[in-house]
Amino acid sequence: MSTFGTLFRVTTYGESHCASVGAIIDGCPPGLPLIAQDVQTQLSRRRPGQSNLTTPRDEKDTVQLQSGIEHGITLGTPIGLLVRNEDQRPHDYSETDLYPRPSHADWTYLEKYGVKASSGGGRSSARETIGRVAAGAIAEKYLKLVFGIEIVAFVSSVGKVHLPTNMGSPSQVPDDDDDSVEDSISPEFVSLLRTVTREQVDSHPTRCPNPEIAERMTKRVIRAKDAMDSIGGTVTCVIRGVPSGLGEPVFDKLEAKLAHAMLSIPATKAFEIGSGFRGTEVPGSKHNDPFFVKADGTMGTKTNWSGGVQGGITNGEDIYFRIGFKSPATISQAQETVQYDGTPGTLAARGRHDPCVVPRAVPIVEAMASLVIMDQMLIQNARKTSASLLPPISTLPPTMVKPGQAQVNGKH
Amino acid sequence: MSTFGTLFRVTTYGESHCASVGAIIDGCPPGLPLIAQDVQTQLSRRRPGQSNLTTPRDEKDTVQLQSGIEHGITLGTPIGLLVRNEDQRPHDYSETDLYPRPSHADWTYLEKYGVKASSGGGRSSARETIGRVAAGAIAEKYLKLVFGIEIVAFVSSVGKVHLPTNMGSPSQVPDDDDDSVEDSISPEFVSLLRTVTREQVDSHPTRCPNPEIAERMTKRVIRAKDAMDSIGGTVTCVIRGVPSGLGEPVFDKLEAKLAHAMLSIPATKAFEIGSGFRGTEVPGSKHNDPFFVKADGTMGTKTNWSGGVQGGITNGEDIYFRIGFKSPATISQAQETVQYDGTPGTLAARGRHDPCVVPRAVPIVEAMASLVIMDQMLIQNARKTSASLLPPISTLPPTMVKPGQAQVNGKH
Amino acid sequence: MSTFGTLFRVTTYGESHCASVGAIIDGCPPGLPLIAQDVQTQLSRRRPGQSNLTTPRDEKDTVQLQSGIEHGITLGTPIGLLVRNEDQRPHDYSETDLYPRPSHADWTYLEKYGVKASSGGGRSSARETIGRVAAGAIAEKYLKLVFGIEIVAFVSSVGKVHLPTNMGSPSQVPDDDDDSVEDSISPEFVSLLRTVTREQVDSHPTRCPNPEIAERMTKRVIRAKDAMDSIGGTVTCVIRGVPSGLGEPVFDKLEAKLAHAMLSIPATKAFEIGSGFRGTEVPGSKHNDPFFVKADGTMGTKTNWSGGVQGGITNGEDIYFRIGFKSPATISQAQETVQYDGTPGTLAARGRHDPCVVPRAVPIVEAMASLVIMDQMLIQNARKTSASLLPPISTLPPTMVKPGQAQVNGKH
Amino acid sequence: MSTFGTLFRVTTYGESHCASVGAIIDGCPPGLPLIAQDVQTQLSRRRPGQSNLTTPRDEKDTVQLQSGIEHGITLGTPIGLLVRNEDQRPHDYSETDLYPRPSHADWTYLEKYGVKASSGGGRSSARETIGRVAAGAIAEKYLKLVFGIEIVAFVSSVGKVHLPTNMGSPSQVPDDDDDSVEDSISPEFVSLLRTVTREQVDSHPTRCPNPEIAERMTKRVIRAKDAMDSIGGTVTCVIRGVPSGLGEPVFDKLEAKLAHAMLSIPATKAFEIGSGFRGTEVPGSKHNDPFFVKADGTMGTKTNWSGGVQGGITNGEDIYFRIGFKSPATISQAQETVQYDGTPGTLAARGRHDPCVVPRAVPIVEAMASLVIMDQMLIQNARKTSASLLPPISTLPPTMVKPGQAQVNGKH
């Protein structure tokens, strides 16, 4: 449905051609400083018309906060917000009144509901993501303020142009006995994950933080645009500073919630965390992340193939994952297909379309990541606080209790 | 938490060393013929000790149905079931009392809960999956009986040994301008998806339906086993015969729920549906699936890069997806790491471990797929039935209504 | 939290002094004719300023539908809606800045959140109910159109002025052995439940359908108003035409969901269904509702002490229940109490207050009733449809299968 | 469905004639000392055969804990538990194979599911409550250990024999202008609520803590039993020591959750909290609970008409509420009714039936109360902890911030 989350919960409404799109964010902690600009920044990163790589629809997407805040402080009550739909131009889509766009949601929405919005795919519109981005910005504000958590997404590939990780790629060529060194994450990529900032990401329209690769990505997008075609890509996201212990066994493991969140973004087809698919080729002896004691006395892992999650629970290391976005379905190139009633014909979609969505997907990925972490953090806080109120545990073998827990735990 | 699903809902309990593991399945339609053997078959495919590729723990895993069924027919009330834990041997794990196993859930469980099960990772144990498999078998029985839906998973890679799909792999090599033909799914793979059966899958211990590749996979597993090491792999799953219209926009798109379900399985790190990551490199003009009218008069798509889902909603084509399983964390090889209290040392885990989990993961993947489809089917049935009771729609433009809907819809 | 329902789900936002109050209604069946007036009618019945019995705040409460509807037909996607807050006058409440109003939510909101809205009780404001009423109106439109369900609430008491039911009241006087005839529902009351309409209810400002009693109620309210005091009352609601089979055992019995829904309305303290508390004094032999075959061949019950629900499931008879609303906490009369910081003093709340809320509560009760029935109907439709697709049951004893079920059930 | 709760969640299975009844309790804080006896005590208070007032079915109801506990300490993972069904005797019910028992769930279950359990009402069986009682006992253990919360329920009426509260009863007699003093809670009843213990409650088989009234209740039950009839009654429950701030506006107010919980218990028809229905007749000036500063410096209310809840949120005062149980539907007395197929006839139910369920309902009420408080406590802990991590609030007017909050709140 249109609600995501358990304790920090966002519910959205709206499609591309109605009066507004909006969201209700429920469960925001009271006492958080929050003004419209906190939300607007990410909305502006999401909106179209930012460069010649995206659709020229220039919608202002100005957020209007409705409730839940007074004097710039959250009250703990639901935050209602909305963004008016300004630039609707419904006639651009007239040809798609007859044709369901191949690989778009037009036909499946009609199958599902029996009726469809005049714009076609209804809630599959990219405008639906506005509510998510707004909600994510609020969650992120909290996470940054309280834990110093940093969430940065960037474009890691466009078509075949990849930001190098030096991990090679899943082998299709028979090479059964080669466990060679190519399968390691390069120090450069590790360093990028540890340090990349949104400023770096935004310094190039493609939102790839490597200028040389970014330039090649641009060319790839332009080539698609010139061909009235489209091209896909991937977004990688890193979350730094997450405390250990988040993620709910067994069905709500952190990676499961992240995958759910990410594959709910339009046009996504793939998700991997840590070493992902490539890690499946690496033997356990190389893939395991050994523990060590960090300078500050806390536990860490020497490597991070796990991507910050073990057994569905965060271990305090950087969480990183990658999402695959397919090439946009709406293209101006002629396509042989059939009409809703089965009549064969040729569809050439008019209107303004993104030849590549990954640059604009960056803030959406960040938003969904924020929502997942925030919700899991609240749930774990409930457990942790309630456990900390119990008397110290004296009956368990020491190996079953967190070192120091028996002493520090209770107050009785 | 330990509950999955909205209307068809499974809740599980149990870890590897307690009295039993079990589940409550709520929301099963009444009137379904169901006996223990329906569940036992999949449990037996899941259990260890089936070949020399898996752990020698030979647990019978006999299911005991407790409620919700009389005279072999479901009552519509919750079905309680359990499987006794017979072979516990807790002492095998004594060394891991001191060491958190690298990349295992031992340490994160302790961080999360402050206490941990004597077996270490608690609910991260593979035995936890018994409840899922049992629940999935019940869902699957319904789906097969009513819709003829077939769900078949198989091992598609072990280490670098891949079942060929002829799609190549995501390019890391700069080759920006090559949209070449390598990026297509081979007719052989398409045919395999359309026809593969569980009998074919089970005819080889690796559960790879291609005998030659299966043999190479076996060698790869044996090599890991001999080296006291482990190796990962991927499982591909196809769901045939699903009606169009399943999947709930926007946060509960079918692929989002499938990804959630699959990444809740232990040791998973990656998920892709349809063309997945590889599809991100294919231009829209090639990647789009054009519509056509099938011999039976219904709409279909000529290709199926989408994997049976568009806009988060099924389109009636085969649903297929791939899940990446990392190399098991528990290996007998010595590992340099630290103890719970920070003392450095060497861990060599004794006990019985699977060198490779993907063959046993096959029925678990099928179970989770069944649970997702069943739940979405019930939700869509609620909508479809309630919509069908409304009067015919006469005020909408014809292009907004499913052809024939205005006539057939209502009874007023 | 601020979301109610499983498949038909409403989420609300807003307090009395923010920009707007609103709601998102998710899960509305597609194809329902819906215009703003459908919602406005009930909102206008809820709003203040309707008579001299209610607060003189004259807010227009004009609903603005945002999404989910095109050409007057629902799309099946979320319906966003909002009502601007026009008449805010925050200064009226200045004295309550120092004093938590006794028996109001001011103090508990502050305890819960650490911060509070400037208006005091935040979301406990009656304006919060606007979202519910709007959502309920949409559900009701469906229920009436498809099933002919009628939901009518009315004021059944104000203070000690009661609409007679001839059931007496729970005895406090020792009279252990008297099972006398006073404990029966009068034919007049049964007839009222069967026939009462909203027009009759609205024909008097108190919303009591008995003119004589209504007049006495008016006097009671005026007396409270003149004394700068307040008075409580009860609302009775009847739902006619609900199909049998709604309500989900065991935790979501229909009466449990109704009680939950009703006691979520501000100022409510009590709920009873059917014979309620009074029925606890009637022996089973008199209280049981014997079955009979109705003129149309379907099963009915001769009496209806059960209130249309048995075992948490509707039986097709009229559902009726009663809700107790306490006397409003905000009164202008001086009250000895303490300030937030503990300083003793006297509070005399200025501003505009309802001396009695029950007349305005009528549409809110109807709305919550609609939401419960609609949601349960969708859930039961999911079950019923999925069960109907199964083959006929031949292995169960005939006494365990609904007569005719084995024949009509399946299509195999 | 069969799951109750958000963070502390119980799921149950089982009906009266299957292999076992059981439950999965998810979300229990880790580190809680827990042994079977903690659960068994309440189960034994619930089970039949405790006195000549209840059904002679003497089932041992021995609980078997399955998981989630090691060395007597909870792990934080789900606790599975079950109780075998020992005394089934299905043939006792043979006559009810033909007749749906009037006012029982037999007919509605059949309407809902199309099939029914051989025992008739399926999950409406009192045995279903075993899982709740077990889960509640675990929640209660935590609440008592950490907060010293005491939950005590007792029988407050059987038929017309009431434990006096001196509040009179809702007036049906026209007495519009009498706001007389009879409408106050007697000091004796207030004192009872503050002090009553389970030992006192259990000292008489009726579970009424007033010996004289208890004796009269006994006679009333015996009279029903001798007449092959049944009689209803009420249970009052008090919860002492609950911290302020629990309860989630707006749909999950504490009283709404309590009402939901209580009306999910079989045979319940009514719920009221605090002054309840009787309070609706008391003017606000008398009904409001003025604040005062208690000896320990915290805020309290002089009276407690509110029942410990204001605006859906606990205020720290005793929570008390009353539940109405109808007379049991299954009676041995002959009843004129019809068979499932419509044939008229006379039903005289054989078998063992409780003539009055309220004594056995006492631990069930306590269990459901525990579940609600525990869940709300966890949710509020999540909020409170997350809010406490924020920096102090300096931008809000002092009247909007909890006294001392700005200083003590944050750590930045």
Give A247-266 pLDDT, tens digit per residue: 999 999 999 999 999 999 99
> Exactly one of A106, A183, A289, A354 is catalytic; which is it?
A354
pLDDT in tens, B76-130: 999 999 999 985 554 455 677 889 999 999 999 999 999 988 877 778 888 899 9
Structure tokens, A196 = 């990349």
| Cβ atoms of D340 and C399 closer than 8 Å | yes
Q: Is any Cβ of chain A less than 8 angstroms from the Cβ of D29? A: yes
What pLDDT was estimated at residue D17?
83
Chain A residues with beta carbon closer than 8 angstroms to that of D138? none
> DSSP secondary structure string, A158-223?
ETTEE---S------S--TT---TTSS--HHHHHHHHH--HHHHHTSTT--SSHHHHHHHHHHHHH
Which of D244, D264, D340 shows the shortest C-beta gap to C253?
D264
> How far is A57 from B396, CA to CA, in rounded Å?
27
Q: Report the alpha-carbon distance of residue C265 to residue C87 in Å, rounded.
A: 22
- pLDDT computed for residue B404 by the predictor: 67
Q: How far apart are CA A228 and CA A332, in angstroms?
A: 5
Pairing mode of beta strands C233-240, C150-158: antiparallel
Q: Tell me if chain B has a CB within 8 Å of the CB of A383.
A: yes
Where chain C has pLDDT below 50, the residues are: 90-91, 181, 407-412
Q: Which residue does chain C place closest to B376, by CA atoms?
A: C382
Cα distance from A101 to chain B (closest Cα, Å)? Answer: 8
Helix (H) or strand (E) holding A353: none
The DSSP output letter for B246 is -
Q: Name the DSSP class of D91.
A: G
pLDDT of D410 strictly over 50: no
pLDDT value of position A407: 45
Indicate if A260 belongs to the active site.
no
Q: Which CATH number fits domain A3-170+181-381: 3.10.20.30, 3.60.150.10, 3.30.420.10, 2.60.40.10?
A: 3.60.150.10
Contact assessment for residue B41 and residue B62, using Cβ atoms and an 8 Å cutoff: no
Q: pLDDT, tens digit, for every residue of D43-77?
A: 999 887 677 676 655 557 899 999 999 999 999 99
Q: Does A408 touch chain D (CB under 8 A)?
A: no
Number of residues written out for chain B: 412
Task: Pick B107's closest partner by Cβ from A170, A257, A299.
Answer: A299
Cis amide bond preceding B250, omega within 30: yes
Measure CB to CB from residue C24 to each of A11, A30, A115 and give the nearest one.
Answer: A11
D262 CB neighbours in chain C (<8 A) are 256, 259
Min distance A71 CA to chain B CA atoms (Å)? 32
Residues of A within 8 A of C1 (CB-CB) are 9, 26-27
The strand pairing partners of B301, in sequence order, are: B291
Give SS3 for A299: strand
- Please check whether residue C267 is in contact with residue C325, taking contact to mean a CB–CB distance below 8 angstroms: yes
Compute the distance between CA of residue B106 and CA of residue D192 in angstroms, rounded to an integer: 50
Least CA distance to A106: which residue of chain B? B311
In the numeric block, which tokens belong to residue A22? 């909006």
Instruction: Give how far B241 is from chain C: nearest CA, Å.
Output: 16
Cα(B49)–Cα(B51) distance, rounded to whole angstroms? 6
**pLDDT, position C407:** 45
Whether the per-residue pLDDT at A157 is higher than 60: the answer is yes
CB-CB under 8 Å, C395 with B72: yes
Q: Are A259 and B263 in contact (CB under 8 A)?
A: yes
The candidate with the shortest Cα–Cα distance to C267, out of C128, C95, C156, C154, is C128
Give residue A375's identity as a one-letter amino acid code. D
For B176, the closest of A97, A159, A263 (CB atoms) is A159
Q: How far is it, in rounded angstroms, from Cα B11 to Cα D13?
A: 11
Instruction: Give the closest residue to A355 by CA, choosing from A164, A98, A160, A159.
Output: A159
Q: What mean pLDDT comes out for the span D87-98?
A: 62
Active site residue D354: yes
- Residues in a beta bridge with C3: C11
Residue B206 has a pLDDT of 96
Across the interface, do D142 and A386 touch by the CB < 8 Å criterion? yes
Residue B156 burial (CB < 10 Å; 0-12/13-18/19+)?
A: buried
Q: What is the pLDDT of residue C184?
A: 81
Q: Give the three-state DSSP class for A359.
A: helix
- The neighbour count for residue C195, using CB atoms within 10 Å, is 13
Distance CA A1, CA C79 (A): 12
Terminus-to-terminus CA distance in chain A, angstroms? 45
Which residue type is seen at A268? T
Residues with pLDDT less than 50, chain B: 90-91, 181, 407-412
Most confident of A47-56, A107-116, D24-33: D24-33
Task: Indicate the residue type of D177.
Answer: D
- Predicted local distance difference test score (pLDDT) of residue D395: 80
Which pLDDT value is given to residue A335?
95
pLDDT value at residue A410 = 38
Do the chains contact at C281 and D159, CB–CB below 8 Å? yes
Please indicate if any CB of chain B lies within 8 Å of the CB of A325: yes
Q: Is the pTM of this model over 0.80?
A: yes
Cβ–Cβ under 8 Å, residues C307 and D269: yes
Please give the Cα distance from D25 to A346 (Å, whole number).
58
Backbone φ, ψ for residue C41 (5° rounding)? -55, -45
What does DSSP assign to residue D393?
P
CA B255 from centre of chain: 12
Q: Which chains touch C (3 or more CB pairs under 8 A)?
A: A, B, D
Q: Read off the pLDDT band of D409 (50, 70, 90).
A: very low
The CA–CA distances, whole Å, from D76 to A256, A395, A402, B132 equal: 20, 16, 13, 20
Residue that wins the pLDDT comparison between A408 and A28? A28
Interface check for A355 against chain C (CB to CB < 8 A): the answer is: no
**Residue B342 CB: number of other CB atoms within 10 A?**
14
Pairing of strands C233-240, C299-301: unpaired
For the domain made up of B3-388, the CATH class stated in words is: alpha beta
| CB neighbour list of residue D98: distance below 8 Å, 6 or more residues apart | C399, D339, D340, D345
Q: Comparing C-alpha atoms, which of D234, D283, D274 is closest to residue D254?
A: D274
Whether residue A280 and residue B325 make contact (CB cut-off 8 A), yes or no, is yes
d(Cα B40, Cα B63) in Å, to the nearest integer? 6
Cα dihedral across residues C406, C409, C412, D1: positive or negative = negative
Contact B71 C142 (CB under 8 A): no
Is the model's pLDDT at A57 over the cut of 60? no
Is the predicted pLDDT of residue D333 greater than 50, yes or no?
yes
Q: Does D19 touch chain A (CB under 8 A)?
A: no
Rg (chain D; Cα; Å): 23
Interface probe for D, chosen from C7, C9, C11, C103 (most Cβ of D below 10 Å), is C103
Percent of chain D predicted with pLDDT > 70: 90
Contacts of B370 by beta carbon, 8 Å cutoff, 6+ apart: B136, B137, B139, B140, B143, B151
Between CA C11 and CA A135 the distance in angstroms is 15
Enter the ipTM: 0.95
> How far off is chain D from B272, nearest CA to CA, in Å?
30
For D385, nearest residue in chain A (alpha carbons) = A381
**Structural contact between residues D274 and D304, judged by C-beta atoms closer than 8 angstroms:** yes
Write out pLDDT tens, residues B22-46.
999 999 999 999 999 999 999 999 8
The residue behind tokens 């941990």 is: B116
Q: Of residues B26, B289, B354, B375, which has the active-site annotation?
A: B354
Q: Which position among B26, B38, B61, B104 bears the catalytic label?
A: B104
pLDDT reported for residue B87: 59
Phi-psi region of C241 (alpha: psi -120 to 50; beta: other; left: phi over 0): left
Q: Can you give the pLDDT at residue D181? A: 47
Q: Does D17 participate in catalysis according to the annotation?
A: yes
Write down how long chain D is.
412
Buried b (16+ CB within 10 A) or exposed e, A55-69: bebebebebebbbbb
